[in-house]
Structure 1
Amino acid sequence: MAGLWEHSCKGGWWLIKHEEGECLRVEDLRDFPALFGAPLLQGHRAQMLGVLGVEARLLRCRFRLNTEVIAYHDSPKQPSLTTADGEVIFADCIIVADGIHSPGRDLLAKQLAAADRNPTLPGARPKKPSGYSVHRGLVKADKIAANPKTAYLLDGNCRTWLGHDAHCLVAPLDNNRQISFSFVHFDFSGTASLNWRDRRPISEVTDLMESWDESLVEAIKTFKTCLNWRKTEEKSATQWFTAGGKIILIGDAVHPLPPSSFQGGSQSVEDGASLAICLALAGSRNEDVPRALEAFQTIRFPRVKHAQEVGVQQRAGWHAYCSSLLPSSLDLLISQAYDHDEELNTINTFERVVQQTFDPTWSLPRETKGAVLSRLKVGHQPGLVNIYGRTKRPEN
């Protein structure tokens, strides 16, 4: 927690603004630690992953970098994978978490279909064009800090400008040393890419912002280049684990979230926490893994489905505001996601879910549940109540 907080920003506010700069609503986030047990961690994902990587190494997790997987082999006894150099690696359970446009999902398509109760082939489920794309970028904040017109953006706070069928989020990161933007808009040109490395000139964004807040446009110009990703509307896969019950996909690989849900990384972290608990509660034998994986999907499916739907609703509300002027369109729907403890939810529902979906005669030993609760030390952290201090409400 301390490492993540060090790399995050500490403004405590989220401002919703009109495209021309007028402040429409200010959301106070300073009570999040008291309400939810943690602050809103607004940081650079690579740095956050670095912190988690250090923690994983301290727990003696081993990493193999630059190792391409070319095949997965499903087996009720012991699944395996094959690397590009021909090595075969066996495991008790294989977890595939390779993100949106997952190569692993494509490699496992037939094996997932064999386990699926529905005829839909998960690896080939349709990706419906949403009509929208997102331009996004990240730069060091030096130039923005040196410009009196844009320096206010580095006060630790998130800001979202609402335009006609578009919105732009600007967020400082890394304790205000970096800054990012995401511009979601209807894609008239149709040139957006699915290649996350495809860099574009920043003029693609500024040309669409002729009437927008001058300070915002000036800040965007400092980025020089950006990415432009085509957004698709993609429902969660109907099956996350293979017929052998030992290989499972998690995160965006099976339930990609729209950028306006602000939950892509968060739901993947929740997946990992929930799956770890399911494996711990299911039992210590190799044959207990399928029980854990089936329960995990059943527990997580409603949560990620709701996050997907809220993301679509958020975009629709924000993009309609300039036409409707409805105050409800300004609501920050992301707040619905925070009043939830996935660790406790998994512990409290695991036994019932297993009995309903896997084995009606199975029961969870009390000592197993007690050991997991003791090790996790789940619950709110009382020391975080005043972590933001009494920061002044921003005026712009």
Structure 2
Amino acid sequence: MVPDKARLHIIIVGAGLSGIAAAISAALSGHFVEVIEQAPELAEVGAGLQVTPNASRLLQYWGLPEFVWEAAAEPKKLTVHRYSGQVLAHDASFAENIRASYNAPFVDMHRGDLQKALYMRARDLGVAFHLGERIESIDFESTTVCSMKGHSFSGDLIIAADGLWSKCRDAFVGRKDEPVPTGDLAYRIVLTADQITDPELRSLVQNPEVHFWIGPGAHAVGYSMRGGKMYNIVLLVPDTLPAGVSKQVGSVKEMRELFVDWDPILNKLLNYVNDVDKWKLMHHGEMARWVNEKSNLVFIGDSCHPMLPYLAQGANSSLEDGAVLGLLLGYMNDKAQLGRILRLYETLRKSRGEAIVRETFKQRDDFHMCDGEEQQKRDQVFLSQLGKKIKGAFPSRWTCPVVQPWLYGYDAVKEVEDAIAQNPDILIDPTH
């Protein structure tokens, strides 16, 4: 816990995963935290999340309510199929291997369950939440955020956690900075086990595994949630939404036609879908800085490094950001150190966040290959190691021995401890 003279009043804009993670981490470090959120309530929105060990260890570290683990599903196996259904890669001991390698689980859960658990923990730590407050302006001179309701929130530091369409980012760059299309869109589907009457498919839901189907210009992923009582499917396909439209009600018929030649198992699952939305996948270019010159604004999560879902690292990386920032703020012994702490945060997180973004595009390229010579070479790499211990670079980063340790082995707590040990001058009072 920081001493009183170092205790910050922190204003966090956004109560998504990154914002509440930062709130928890900063509150545990002894700071006073207020979170401003435009939604009138933290409703159960969104669909499934794959929480990988780099983030699940943080959920353990923060001591979240037990229900979040009960609401999760730990996939025992992971399989990559060619779109025809042919198995290209299969890890029959996925859960066991993950725990042995990273001392933390890989779990699948509903975003609403995770957000609720984070919110409850933050409230327990004394974090104040202001819901239904849409941001109108930000004054960096007085470190004040003003809402459209006419309310003002002032403090020592503003944490921008307001996502892809960040008002904080607009204020920082001095203009509207809208995200740009990636050329893909996502169909997000949630089915309950009760909906599914086919015995084979029910077994698929009730015995958690992760399945990928990869094909020309598209791929699908399916996994269980809520202890095998719910199934999440995400379909990544070419973007057909009009310019300027980020979400639209989709046609179930159109969606099914896109996958008509794919694995019968996937098609059987899609036959249970009654309605679906289309989400345009957007991204931003890299920001030059994540901290402003006055050192009273810092960016985290999708506001500075929005991630596409190809590696499921958007949520996980956002939790890392919040953890690292809050932990670093816990080493302060004077408010005058804030600028150096924020610059260290930027040094630690910016390169990793942007590297993950680049890796997601590489995974899309490997999963979305059109049929042809390059695809055949890819499949040969897959099949040459099927049933064996994988060695070297691998087209699926989910079990790649090169990429997986870098993604899943990241320990935010150790990262901060090591950084402070290597930069002891950061803790020297700059006024002396």
TM-score class, shorter: 0.7 to 0.9
The answer for the alignment partner of 2:229 in structure 1 is 177
Paired position in structure 2 for 1:124: 177
Q: 2:427 aligns with which of 364, 389, 393?
A: 364
1:303 to 335, 352, 356: 352
Q: 1 CA distance for matches of 2:270 and 2:347?
A: 42
In the TM superposition, what whole-angstrom CA distance separates every residue of 1:70-99 from its partner, at most 9, and x where no partner exists? 111113xx5111112211111121112111
Amino acid at match of 2:427: L
Residues 1:218 and 2:284 are matched in the alignment:
no
Q: Provide the secondary structure at the position in 2 that maps to 1:99.
A: coil
SS in 1 for 2:246: coil
**Distance (whole Å) between structure 1 residues aligned to residue 280 and residue 148 of structure 2:** 29
Distance in 2, matches of 1:194 and 1:230, equals: 8
Instruction: Spell out the pairing of 1:22-61 with structure 2 (5 A cutoff).
Output: 22-27=86-91, 28-61=94-127
* Whole-angstrom distance in 1 between the partners of 2:245 and 2:290: 23
After TM superposition, give the deviation of residue 212 of structure 1 in Å.
1.0
2:165 and 2:356 map into 1 onto residues whose CA distance is 19
Give the Cα–Cα distance (whole angstroms) in 2 for the partners of residues 346 and 147 of structure 1: 49
CA deviation vs aligned residue, 1:101-120 (integer Å, no higher than 9, x gap)? 2233223322xxxxxxxxxx
Question: Alpha carbons of 1:364 and 1:7: their partners in 2 closer, same or farther (altered >3 Å)?
Answer: same
Deviations 1:175-206 (A, max 9, x none): 1222211111233x35487534x321222321
CA contact (8 A) 1:261 1:308 kept: no
SS of equivalent residue, structure 2 residue 369: helix
Pick from 154, 163, 167 the counterpart of residue 215 of structure 2.
Answer: 163
> TM-score, normalised on structure 2?
0.73
Matching residue's letter, 1:246: N
1:153-184 alpha-carbon deviations (Å, 9 max, x no partner): 21211111111121100111111222211111
Q: SS of the counterpart of 1:291?
A: helix
- Provide the residue aligned with 1:21 in structure 2: 85
Q: Which of 188, 203, 215 in structure 2 is aligned with 1:152? A: 203
Residue 4 (str. 1) matches residue 56 (str. 2): no
Equivalent residue number for residue 3 of structure 2 = none
Q: Tell me the distance in 1 between the aligned counterparts of 2:338 and 2:271.
A: 51
Give identity over the alignment, percent. Answer: 21
Q: CA deviation at 1:215?
A: 2.4
Select which of 284, 290, 293 maps to 1:243: 293
- Please give the per-residue CA displacement for 1:291-319, whole angstroms capped at 9, x wherever unaligned: 22221111101111121111111111111
Question: Are 1:312 and 2:377 matched, yes or no?
Answer: no
* Counterpart residue type for residue 325 of structure 2: L
CA separation of 1:157/1:352 partners in 2, compared to 1, >3 Å: closer, same or farther? same
- 1:323-334 alignment to 2 at 5 Å? 323=372, 324-325=375-376, 326=378, 327=382, 328-332=394-398, 333=400
- 2:90, 2:275 → 1: CA distance? 30
Q: Cα distance, 1:149 vs. partner?
A: 4.3
Shift of 1:148: 2.2
Indicate the SS of the match to 1:235.
Answer: coil
Cα pair 1:162 1:322 within 8 Å, conserved: no
Structure 2 CA distance for partners of 1:66 and 1:221, relative to 1, 3 Å: farther
d(CA) in 1 for partners of 2:242, 2:190: 21
When the two chains are superposed, the root-mean-square deviation of aligned CA atoms in Å is 2.3
- TM-score, with normalisation over the residues of structure 1? 0.79
Q: Is the 8 A contact 1:255 1:304 kept in 2?
A: yes
After superposition, the C-alpha distances for 1:241-269 in whole angstroms (9 at most, x for unaligned) are: 22221122210011011110210000000
* Bigger Cα displacement from structure 2, 171-180 vs 258-267: 171-180
- Aligned letter for 1:170? G
Assess if the C-alpha contact under 8 Å between 1:235 and 1:256 holds in 2.
Answer: no
What SS does structure 2 have at the residue aligned with 1:348? helix
Cα distance change, pair 130–195 in 1 and its aligned pair in 2 (3 A): closer
Partner of residue 272, structure 1: 322
Task: Answer whether contact 1:172 1:179 (CA < 8 A) is retained.
Answer: yes
Instruction: Name structure 2 gaps, 5 residues minimum.
Output: 1-59, 61-65, 383-393
| C-alpha distance 129-363 of structure 1, shift in aligned 2 (>3 A) | closer
CA distance in 2 between partners of 1:279 and 1:93 (Å): 11
The answer to whether the 8 A contact 2:220-2:235 is kept is yes
**1:101 is matched with which residue: 165, 172, 176?**
165
Per the alignment, residue 206 of structure 1 pairs with 256
Aligned equivalent of 1:344: 414
Name which of 144, 156, 161 aligns with 1:92: 156
Counterpart-to-counterpart distance in 2, 1:177 and 1:81 = 42
Q: From the superposition, tell whether residues 140 and 66 of structure 1 become closer, same or farther in structure 2 (CA, over 3 Å).
A: farther
Aligned residues of 1:162 and 1:321 also touching (Cα < 8 A):
no
User: Is residue 81 of structure 1 aligned with residue 81 of structure 2?
Assistant: no
Change (3 A) 1:340 1:330: closer
State the aligned residue count.
340
| 8 A Cα contact 1:317 1:329, kept in partner | yes
Q: What is the match of residue 390 of structure 1?
A: none
User: Quick one: which amino acid aligns to residue 221 of structure 1?
Assistant: N
Letter paired with 1:312 = F
Distance change in 2, residues 1:250/1:213 (3 Å): same
CA separation of 1:130/1:173 partners in 2, compared to 1, >3 Å: closer, same or farther? same
Q: Quick one: structure 1 residues 241 and 192, their matched pair in 2 at CA, closer, same or farther if it must change by over 3 Å? A: same
